[in-house]
Structure 1
Amino acid sequence: MALQVGDKILNFSAIDTNGNQFESDSVVGKKSLVIYFYPKDDTRVCTEQACSFRDQYEDFKALGAEVIGVSSDSVKSHQKFAKQYRLPFILLSDSDKKLRKLFGVPNDLLGLIPGRVTYVIDKDGIVQLVFNSMSGKIHIQKALEILKRL
């Protein structure tokens, strides 16, 4: 079942860009979260989206939010992607697709491509936005709009 606005996210863990175990409860309850799922490192739209989050990362931090990118790419791929584009936020490796299943992220393009969905979660772990669009840049604007209202 896909997460909807008003749902509380379940605790989850995954390996981050540095090869460390990330636990969601280390952030939930302390700050808002913007978790964005994207298809693949170093592809045109995914790179544009990541760089847009990078370019506005200070705006997210000023609003008390942490940005986390999630794809099924390996930790090694995430490290290369983050270094190449100087991404200041966490990327989580979801190679077993457990996080995609937990959040209920659908596939796009006849089920062939992993979906591009952004979730804004408030400090209490309640989903405030579920935005599903293959257009990468719009996600940043939508997330910031919601965070400004929290």
Structure 2
Amino acid sequence: MAIKVGDKLPHFTALDSDGNAFDSKMYDGKSLVIYFYPKDDTRVCTEQACSFRDQYEDFKTLGAEVIGVSSDSVKSHQKFASRYRLPFILLSDSNKKLRKLFGVSNDLLGLLPGRVTYVIDKNGIVQLVFNSMSGKIHIQKALQILKTM
């Protein structure tokens, strides 16, 4: 069952790009922008990650933490984050548990993992679910919602 606007963010854990355990409960009381993307070091995914990086301070100013999620390994995330100086959290979902938990499906052709962004408010309530294979527009949509919260 896919997470939708108005739902409470479910509790989850995963490994971050440093191999450390990430627990969503550590972010209770904080706004989050969680974005699922297909693959590290691909053109659109890199553009999207770099757009989040370039506007990261805007997200922080609005009180939100950015979290990127893909099925890539911790090692792949380390290289990706280092190469593009990504200041935000990347989570490895190699077993696709988070994709299932959030209900992120593949693209229309079924070939690529989906690209979906969620904005969660300080109370843990989902305020935005944006599904589009276009990368950069996710940043604009997330900032728009955060500015109204």
Q: Report the counterpart of residue 21 of structure 1 in structure 2.
A: 21
Counterparts of 1:38 and 1:103 in 2: how far apart (Å)?
A: 13
1:111 positional shift: 1.3
- More deviation in 105-114 or 44-53? 105-114
Q: TM-score, normalised by structure 1?
A: 0.98
The count of residues paired between Structure 1 and Structure 2 equals: 149
Q: Report the counterpart of residue 62 of structure 2 in structure 1.
A: 63
Q: Report the counterpart of residue 126 of structure 1 in structure 2.
A: 125
1:9 positional shift: 1.1
Counterparts of 1:119 and 1:59 in 2: how far apart (Å)?
A: 17
Secondary structure at 1:34 match in 2: strand
Secondary structure at 1:125 match in 2: coil
Q: Report the counterpart of residue 75 of structure 1 in structure 2.
A: 74
Counterparts of 2:67 and 2:26 in 1: how far apart (Å)?
A: 13
Q: Report the counterpart of residue 87 of structure 1 in structure 2.
A: 86
Would you identify which runs of 4 or more consecutive aligned residues in structure 1 move more than 4 Å? none
Q: TM-score, normalised by structure 2?
A: 0.99
Counterparts of 1:67 and 1:81 in 2: how far apart (Å)?
A: 16
Deviations 1:71-93 (A, max 9, x none): 00000000000000000000000
Deviations 1:80-125 (A, max 9, x none): 0000000000000000000000000010042111000000000111
Counterparts of 1:10 and 1:109 in 2: how far apart (Å)?
A: 26
Secondary structure at 2:101 match in 1: helix
Could you tell me which amino acid in structure 2 is paired with residue 76 of structure 1? K
Secondary structure at 2:91 match in 1: strand
Counterparts of 2:112 and 2:64 in 1: how far apart (Å)?
A: 28
Secondary structure at 1:114 match in 2: coil
List runs of 5+ in structure 2 lacking aligned partners. none
Aligned 1:1-150 pairs, distance under 5 A:
1-29=1-29, 31-150=30-149
